[in-house]
A and B are shown apart, each in its own frame.
Chain A
Amino acid sequence: MSKKITIEPVTRVEGHGKVTILMDDHAQVKETRLHIVEFRGFERFVQGRPYWEAPVLVQRLCGICPVSHHIAAAKAMDVIVGAGNGDGLTAVGEKMRRLMHYGQFFQSHVLHFFHLSSPDFLFGIDGDPALRNIIGVAQHHKELAVQGVMMRKFGQEVIKVTAGKKIHGTGAIPGGINKNLSIAERDSLLVGTELLNADKMVDWSLAALEFFKNYHKNNQSQLDNFAAFPSNHLSLVRKDGALDIYHGVLRAVDAEGKRILNDVDYHEYYNYIEEEVRNWSYMKFPYLKHLGKEKGWYRVGPLARLNTCDFIPTPLAQKEFEEYKSYTNGKPNNMSLHYHWARLIEVLHSAEVIRDLLNDPDLQNEDLTVKGKKQLEGVGVIEAPRGTLFHHYKINEEDLITMANLIVSTTNNNEPMNTAVNKTAHAFMDGQTHISEPMMNAVEVAIRAYDPCLSCATHALGQMPLEVSLVGPDGRMMDQKLKNG
């Protein structure tokens, strides 16, 4: 008998979504969908606002990585105020923004790994749900929990000294930055305290990687095969092919590593990327135009970044990158749960970059902004923790925004997350007539690997209880389970 299974909402991700799984008459998974069911509409209500307000306004999309939206919008506004196409800022302007961005990268990735995902590794996908959460981690793995909390705090402190406050600051302004880094602020992070300093963050990042690699060694089959599927991968890379999350060119590779987007200028992203709307989700489905809807979809985020870049420009992360790449013989990595591995390499890279930047005397310079001939249109693209983030604005002669288009990281991962859900549903639910909690969590684990920010992607935010229903073909409820978030 065919059935419809609904998982709503998905837990331990940012934002609010639900999953429906249709089962056929033979209890086989027929169709799956990850729905994003809320809507916020920032693209609309930023219209009519003065352009210099955009970096502060649009960052309210999110409380986890507002810095991403803040900087992407500021980069677009750099173009509008004539400060170049992303590489025209003063040294202190660009480096302060980089410091802010790497700080947020660090804290966001740490939040995801320690707070949201580590419970699945520590207690198992089928572990006791009462334990399988951050409280359980704190009770049974205190040292790891402390590391997670302190690492996130460090990232937040980096954001505070660059943006003015930890969440929703104002540091990046059109054409640059509104403050430099004082010596006292620098030392508070560089020297800091025993548990809160730049060196400690590098050490702990290495330790987190070791933890994951050990877990991988003992659970290789699970991590390698869970929701693994071939796909294209897209990200920014520096012009020389290095991993760069602040600025660069757009590169995409296919599942075998062949370039399908060859280092193009992101200011013309609309020539390469199209978005499809489907009537069951508020999240659009982007794809590469020249490959079409069926073959043009791609993954973004840590996995994609380490598939597109040629190297990582910090020594410790580069060493880890080489080990990571050797695992797939230099070919792109298409294993969904390896997102976690890639993410932790980026955590280490961020810690190294933050330490290097804190030692850079340019951060004490006073030439904070630069401006030139005003333009009426600007595009800003960065790599947010969850993937490539596009901001595109047009203004009128009176400085008011007339158009905004945001392609948010998680939106880029829409099709891959749906594919991951589909793979997982097949693996765990084919032939099943009864829904178990581990089955539900397995679907969530697949989604969680992508660290989606559903609120960003649809401009929605919410608490997440979970509801799963089995519905017969006649619409009759066969089975239902609920849990509160």
Chain B
Amino acid sequence: MENQIKIIIDGQEVLTEKGKTILEVARENNIFIPTLCHFMGADPKANCRVCTIKIHNRMMTSCTTPAADGMEIENNTPELNDIRKSIIELLFVSGNHFCPTCEKSGDCELQALAYRYQMMVPRFPYDFPQKKIDSSNPKILKEQNRCISCKRCIKTIKDEQGRHYFAFRNRGNKIEVVLDPDLGIEISDELALMAMKNCPVGSIIYKEKGFEKPIGTRKFDKTPIGS
């Protein structure tokens, strides 16, 4: 019992154990907190900030904040949901996301969150950045227009020796995630497919399989995110 703590999320008392993040506790109790960069099994880095919550009137990221006894947490509030929506809008305007022709549509977490938070028109002006497609790898197409630099692929797609297939290149607003051209040439089908699946948007595409999944069977077709 020493390990047991009690936190309150949106007025709901939740009993849990020490050592867990607020996001983990919320998920164990079927309380939805949106995420984009977080990936189960990989260290959280709080890149995307979509999981922002309020603890005792202070903004924190739930994926990196350990739950502590007596915490009172605001999660599903108009203020926080608007902040989350604004982050999603920023991601849309800082890339070139054309859902109608994207093969990840219906399986895309960014799109699903935009629907959840009812994004109609972003409140920010579009950047229309000049981005490229890297299609030089025989299995993977890297669509930089859609990348949100969440690092999921960098963290989770590794070979048996722990070498990363994906890495950051450049800095600041020119930063981009790229596939190592030498290591990437040997990537297995299994890892290439996993890279596409782990990508929360349509930036990593397993080539020549586009639109094989019919409408109606995609991840969020019948079950909106967070439901």
Contact = CB atoms under 8 A, between A and B. Distances in A.
Nearest to B211: A170
A399 B210 CA distance: 12
B144 to A, nearest CB: 12
A165 interface: yes
Contact of B211 (A48, A52, A81): A52
B35 to A, nearest CB: 27
A178 B133 contact: no
Contacts of B100: 56, 60, 168
Interface stretch (B82-90, B150-158, B192-200, B213-221): B213-221
A57 interface: yes
A173 B133 contact: no
A164 interface: yes
B179 interface: no
Nearest to A400: B135
Contact of B103 (A53, A163, A399): A53
A101 interface: no
Contact of B141 (A50, A169, A173): A50
B101 interface: yes
A268 interface: no
A179 interface: yes
From B133, B136, B211, name the one whose CB has the most chain A CB atoms within 10 angstroms. B211
Given A50-B141, A52-B208, A56-B101, A179 B133 contact: no
Nearest to B221: A164
From B135, B205, B214, name the one whose CB has the most chain A CB atoms within 10 angstroms. B214
B54 interface: no
Given A50-B205, A53-B103, A179 B214 contact: yes
A171 interface: yes
Interface in A150-189: 163-165, 168-171, 173-174, 178-179
Interface in A171-212: 171, 173-174, 178-179
Given A50-B141, A50-B205, A399-B207, A164 B212 contact: no
Interface in B15-49: none
Given A53-B103, A398-B135, A400-B133, A173 B215 contact: no
Nearest to A169: B215
Given A60-B100, A60-B101, A48 B133 contact: yes
A50 B207 contact: yes
Contacts of A165: 215
Interface in A382-429: 398-400
A50 B210 contact: yes
A191 to B, nearest CB: 21
Contact of B214 (A48, A81, A171): A171
Nearest to B103: A53
B108 to A, nearest CB: 14
B213 A178 contact: yes
A178 B207 contact: no
Nearest to A170: B211
From A49, A55, A165, A173, name the one whose CB has the most chain B CB atoms within 10 angstroms. A173
A398 B136 contact: yes
A173 B210 CA distance: 8
A418 B69 CA distance: 79
Interface string A31-60: 000000000000000001110110111001
B214 to A, nearest CB: 4
Contacts of A163: 215
Contacts of A56: 100-101, 103, 210-211
Contacts of A174: 208
A29 B205 CA distance: 58
Contacts of B133: 48-50, 400
Contacts of B216: 164
Given A50-B205, A398-B135, A170 B215 contact: yes
Nearest to A164: B215
A178 B211 CA distance: 7
Contacts of B208: 52, 81, 174, 399
Interface string B112-154: 0000000000000000000001011000010000000000000
A163 B215 CA distance: 8
Interface in B168-227: 205, 207-216
A82 to B, nearest CB: 11
Contacts of A53: 101, 103, 210
Nearest to A58: B101
Contacts of A400: 133, 135
Contacts of B211: 52, 55-56, 170, 173, 178
A178 B136 CA distance: 26
A399 B212 contact: no
A406 to B, nearest CB: 16
Nearest to A162: B214
Contact of A164 (B141, B205, B210, B214): B214
B222 to A, nearest CB: 13
B141 A399 contact: yes
Given A56-B211, A178-B212, A178-B214, 5 more contacts: A50-B141, A52-B211, A81-B208, A170-B215, A171-B214
Interface of B: 100-101, 103, 133, 135-136, 141, 205, 207-216
Leading 3 A-B pairs by shortest Cβ distance: A164-B215, A52-B210, A398-B135
19 contacts: A50-B205, A52-B103, A52-B210, A53-B101, A55-B211, A56-B211, A60-B100, A163-B215, A165-B215, A168-B100, A171-B214, A173-B211, A173-B212, A179-B214, A398-B135, A398-B136, A399-B135, A399-B208, A400-B133
